[in-house]
Structure 1
């Protein structure tokens, strides 16, 4: 319970400072390159995410950062828990936006940051919104920004990886960018497996070898979906076994 209070207090208590910093950042937007501004904006969410994770007292282990390519890329990860986004923001040095539920727009400050991070908002109840999110995400990538997507659509809560939906392949093919598979294990131990109470977890992240844009272009969609899903699933299973062996 104490960890939960500390974490949520920081989550919302940090917003006034974030709002002040956002105004400072936006004042520099016209004089910075697109890549420089993305990197600047990324510093605040990364600081926020690190602060949240520090208060959960979780241990994070990350490897494979050398597999992050230069230039825009579609980051594709399994979706285990609510802490996937904070963990990835805190550990991945490459600036990225992500697809988020439109309900987040009701929060103060956060959606403004997300827009500058090049996030895309999705209304899950509207098919036209789902289609638009695909085209909007592809355009963000074409404009030179990296995007993270969870193709399972919903959290697995640590109970295996579900089927990957086809949208991420359409996005990558349309944008002509590489796909970077990312395997996450352990985020559900922080919250979902504790009746939504926050507890310390041991999270491992592995950034895997990218599927080059040339391969994305020439590979059939079904094969590409299976390739990326199997790559992530195999690594998640390996991480789970490694942790089991340590117990």
Structure 2
């Protein structure tokens, strides 16, 4: 049953993207497209999967202030766990190959999201620095998975610098979003799905910081995320 639910949930993603493309084409590159599609896919996916997602710290999700959101990236199912947590006017960062995924890639592009080639680290940092101007000028928020790839059960991986460059360059706070570790039952391969708890932490301010502060900022954010994930994961065992 778990496998059938997972297959159905993912089959619905391109269907929802096709429906969302109508809106995206009517208002191309509008970041509001991302919030709409994220909510559609997350709420539909959790319903189909029978997945509970307790949320702690929702008051720290900014509604009227640009921020750089960072979250741990475990599995493709992050879309269903985290997709409805985008603040208004949020763009996300993804690999450029996503543009070729039928329907999803086109919706992602039309949401004005940032596509980077992660094999070219210097280019990726330049893109993130340019994105900081959009945060300042266009009042946008930025969602990033700072590990750069899915952990697939290996625990929290080292962070890449791009998100922190963007935060420091724009002076925007960093909002840390932590999801408890997925269990085999959570991924839907076997048995009943266990809840995945998500906690949003108070903002980490970056005003006044410079590029020389980025290594310390990365370490502090990594420690905060790791400690929170460990605590949440013990609760859900």
Contact 1:99 1:121 in 2 (8 A): yes
What residue number does 2:45 align with?
Answer: 52
Partner Cα distance (1:40, 1:160) in 2: 31
Do residues 72 (structure 1) and 66 (structure 2) align? yes
SS in 2 for 1:111: helix
1:199 CA displacement: 6.5
How far residue 238 of structure 1 moved from its aligned partner, in angstroms, is 0.5
SS, match of residue 90 in structure 1: coil
**Residue ranges of structure 1 left out of the alignment (5+ in a row):** 30-36
Unaligned runs of 5+ residues in structure 2 are none
> Partners of 1:82 and 1:180 in 2: how far apart?
21
Larger deviation: 205-214 or 10-19?
Answer: 10-19
Give the match for residue 161 of structure 2: 166
1:214 to 207, 218, 227: 207
Query: For residues 20 and 73 of structure 1, do their structure 2 counterparts lie closer, same or farther at Cα, with a shift above 3 Å needed?
Result: same
Tell me if the contact between 1:74 and 1:177 (Cα under 8 Å) persists in the aligned partners.
yes
Q: Which TM-score applies when normalising by structure 2?
A: 0.84
Work out which of the residue numbers 70, 83, 97 in structure 2 matches 1:103.
Answer: 97
Please report the RMSD computed on the Cα atoms of aligned residues, expressed in angstroms: 2.7
Say whether residues 1:85 and 2:87 are aligned partners.
Answer: no
Mapped to 2, the partners of 1:56 and 1:137 lie a distance apart of: 35
Give the Å deviation of 1:13: 2.3
Going by fraction, where is helix more abundant, 1 or 2? 1
Distance in 1 (CA, whole Å) between partners of 2:148 and 2:34 is 26
SS of the residue corresponding to residue 180 of structure 1 reads strand
Offset of residue 40 of structure 1: 5.8
Task: Provide TM-score, normalisation by structure 1.
Answer: 0.81
Whole-angstrom distance in 2 between the partners of 1:133 and 1:188: 35
Shift of 1:18: 1.8
State the Cα deviation string for residues 175-229 of structure 1 (Å, max 9, x = none): 11111111111446433x84xx896342111110101232645982222111111
Quick one: distance in 1 between partners of 2:191 and 2:106? 27
Question: Would you say 1:137 and 2:139 are equivalent positions?
Answer: no
1:230 aligns with 2:223: yes
How big is each residue's C-alpha offset from its partner over 1:115-164, in whole Å with a ceiling of 9 and x where there is no partner? 34331111223345423332343233222111111111222223321222
SS at structure 1 position matched to 2:119:
coil
